[in-house]
């Protein structure tokens, strides 16, 4: 996941949110442990939400 501009991984808690449709849902995620995989990773690709859909 992106945290600020950093790509991070870790353990955490997810709280289910409202579904987008019958096949996709959302959740709020709070990391309880965090490890940075790449700093400033937010600048490495298209703007958020701009990835092509298949």
What SS3 string covers the chain? CEECCEEEECCEEEEECCCCCCCCCCEEEEECCCEEEECCHHHCCCCCCCCCCC
User: For the chain, what is the mean pLDDT?
Assistant: 80
* pLDDT score, position 13: 93
* pLDDT score, position 37: 87
Query: pLDDT digit string (tens) for 14-40?
Result: 999 988 888 888 898 888 998 988 887
Q: How confident is the model at residue 54 (pLDDT cuts 50, 70, 90)?
A: low
Whole-prediction pTM: 0.49
Please give the share of the chain, as a percent, with pLDDT higher than 70.
76
């Amino acid at each position: 996941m992106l945290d600020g501009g950093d790509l991070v991984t870790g353990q955490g808690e997810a709280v289910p949110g409202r579904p987008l449709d019958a096949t996709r849902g959302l959740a709020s995620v709070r990391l309880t442990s965090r490890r940075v995989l790449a700093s400033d990773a937010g600048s490495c690709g298209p703007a958020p939400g701009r990835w092509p859909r298949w």
